[in-house]
């Protein structure tokens, strides 16, 4: 297989397929979009071309296969598309959430890989099955085009046992795979690489703490490009306070609630869907912008939600600073990390003890673009780095296919 020039990136969810097309010679994004409400009433296609031209319309599709066909038709539409022929797509990269312990790297998708993704569905029941549906949809619509799986867990494979094991009998790890896997790996990897690049320092010379703060949120300690700690666990429920997830909680709370008569599904919904900013602020929104706006109007619970969010993050950063034996760079990414000077300021003001000094003016100006937001003399440098998981998936896809062609030569 030759080095692919046009790569399609797919992120398939239970009722949506997000996609992006890249020209890999210059890493230019040609188009991006989403088909949403698949198999629900009133499905929609949103499609944006590199020149800003966009489409947002109701479509009639009822399955992932039909959504995939629609995406391909749109990409080659003579009026609104970006490709002359679908044969220009030379490889497809798929976001796959769980690669278990088996996949340390991105991999070419074969029947065996698909069987593993299916097998790991017990660990990621909400994500792996739709990811697999996306792969099968591409296989049926673009037969013969190589597919690559890029796992959210892979970057965390370097976690040492002291970090990934839970303090329960070892047989639960052996029999059931109960351990920390970590998630958001593609984002943490992208920002670690991009930050080293931006600072002009080799990744092998940096100790970094990367904070991905979006609807889901996680923090990772990266030493010389290798993950040594991360805040999400066996599932993405652990760690930071998130949009609707509680993050760390005493497991005794779960037992207590079950003994009070709640079912496992009810506790699942409570902790995954009704907690975090949504549950604490109580303003009917999990969006940090709404929570900040309410807090600024004097809403007490919204203020509390923000302080809990900040407090938990600061606790993790402090712990990871120690785990790393000191850190050089603190990176903010994800919707909140990239766009909220307000939150970054509250976090960094609590990190003076670690030698992190905020440059308030630079922080205010750094919205959605790479920037150093600490002072020149700050011992711990703070950086804003927008993530680009899709580009990372496209790069990994090219790397896997190119390595493959080297092997087969």
Which member of 28, 50, 289, 369 binds ligand ADP (CB under 6 A)?
A: 289
Per annotation, catalytic residue among 65, 152, 268, 290: 152
**Residue choice 4, 146, 216, 370 for contact with ligand ADP (CB under 6 A):** 216
- At closest approach, how far in Å is the CB of 349 from ligand ADP? 17
Site for ligand ADP contains 287 (CB under 6 A): yes
Is residue 26 annotated as a catalytic residue, yes or no?
no
Q: What are phi and psi of 57, to 5 degrees?
A: -145, 160
When the beta carbons of 215 and 315 are compared against ligand ADP, the nearer one is 215
Could you say whether residue 345 binds ligand ADP (CB under 6 A)? no
The stretch near ligand ADP (CB under 6 A) out of 62-70, 129-137, 196-204, 288-296 is 288-296
Q: Which residue number, 93 or 337, has a Cβ lying nearer to ligand ADP?
A: 337
Given 339, 363, 388, 397, the residue binding ligand ADP (CB under 6 A): 339
- Which of 340, 363, 374, 388 binds ligand ADP (CB under 6 A)? It is 340
**Least distance between ligand ADP and beta carbon 213 (Å):** 7
> Site residues for ligand ADP, window 316-335 (CB under 6 A)?
334-335
- 35: contact with ligand ADP by CB under 6 A: no
Between residues 81 and 341, which has the closer beta carbon with respect to ligand ADP?
341
Of 214, 276, 370, 386, which one interacts with ligand ADP (CB under 6 A)? 214
Binding ligand ADP (rule: CB under 6 A), the pick from 243, 276, 279, 370 is 243
Q: Token match 């600024």: residue? A: 296
Max CA-CA distance within the chain? 66
CB 285, min distance to ligand ADP, A: 9
Q: How far is the CB of 261 from ligand ADP (least distance, A)?
A: 33
The Cα 343–Cα 388 span in angstroms is 21
Considering only the stretches 12-20, 80-88, 175-183, 283-291, report the one whose residues sit in contact with ligand ADP under the rule CB under 6 A. Answer: 283-291
> CB under 8 Å to 268, separation ≥6 — which residues?
none
Residue ranges binding ligand ADP (CB under 6 A): 214-216, 243, 287-289, 292, 334-336, 339-340
Q: Residues with catalytic annotation?
A: 152
């Amino acid at each position: 297989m030759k080095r692919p020039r046009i790569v399609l990136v797919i992120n398939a969810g239970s009722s949506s397929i997000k996609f992006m097309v890249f020209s890999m010679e210059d890493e230019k994004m040609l188009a991006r979009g989403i088909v949403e409400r698949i198999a629900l009433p009133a499905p929609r296609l949103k499609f944006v071309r590199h020149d800003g031209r966009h489409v947002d319309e109701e479509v009639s599709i009822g399955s992932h296969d039909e959504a995939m066909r629609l995406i391909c038709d749109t990409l080659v539409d003579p009026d609104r598309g970006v490709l002359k022929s679908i044969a220009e797509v030379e490889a497809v990269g798929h976001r796959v959430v769980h690669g278990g312990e088996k996949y340390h790297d991105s991999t070419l998708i074969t029947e065996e890989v698909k069987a593993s993704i299916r097998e790991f569905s017990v660990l990621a029941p909400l994500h792996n099955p739709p990811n697999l549906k996306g792969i099968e949809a591409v296989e049926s619509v673009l037969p013969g085009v190589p597919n690559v799986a890029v796992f959210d867990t892979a970057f965390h494979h370097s976690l040492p046992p002291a970090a990934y094991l839970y303090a329960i009998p070892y047989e639960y790890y052996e029999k059931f795979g109960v351990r920390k896997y970590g998630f958001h790996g593609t984002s943490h990897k992208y920002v670690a690489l991009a930050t080293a690049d931006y600072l002009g320092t080799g990744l092998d010379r940096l100790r970094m703490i990367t904070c991905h703060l979006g609807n889901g949120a996680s923090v990772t300690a990266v030493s010389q490009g290798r993950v040594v700690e991360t805040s999400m666990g066996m599932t993405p429920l652990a760690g930071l306070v998130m949009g609707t997830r509680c993050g760390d909680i005493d497991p005794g709370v779960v037992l207590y609630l079950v003994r009070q008569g709640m079912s496992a599904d009810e506790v699942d919904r409570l902790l995954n869907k009704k907690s975090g900013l949504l549950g604490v602020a109580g303003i009917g929104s999990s969006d940090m912008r709404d929570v900040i706006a309410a807090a600024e109007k004097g809403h007490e619970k919204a203020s509390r939600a923000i302080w809990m969010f900040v407090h938990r993050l600061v606790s993790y950063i402090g712990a990871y600073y120690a785990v790393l034996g000191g850190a050089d760079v603190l990176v903010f990414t994800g919707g909140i990390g990239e766009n909220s000077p307000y939150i970054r300021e509250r976090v960094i003001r609590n990190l003076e003890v670690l030698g992190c000094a905020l440059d308030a003016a630079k922080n205010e100006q750094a919205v959605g673009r790479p920037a150093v937001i600490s002072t020149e003399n700050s011992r711990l440098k703070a950086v804003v780095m927008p993530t680009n998981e899709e580009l990372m998936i496209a790069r990994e896809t090219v790397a896997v296919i190119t390595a493959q062609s080297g092997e087969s030569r």
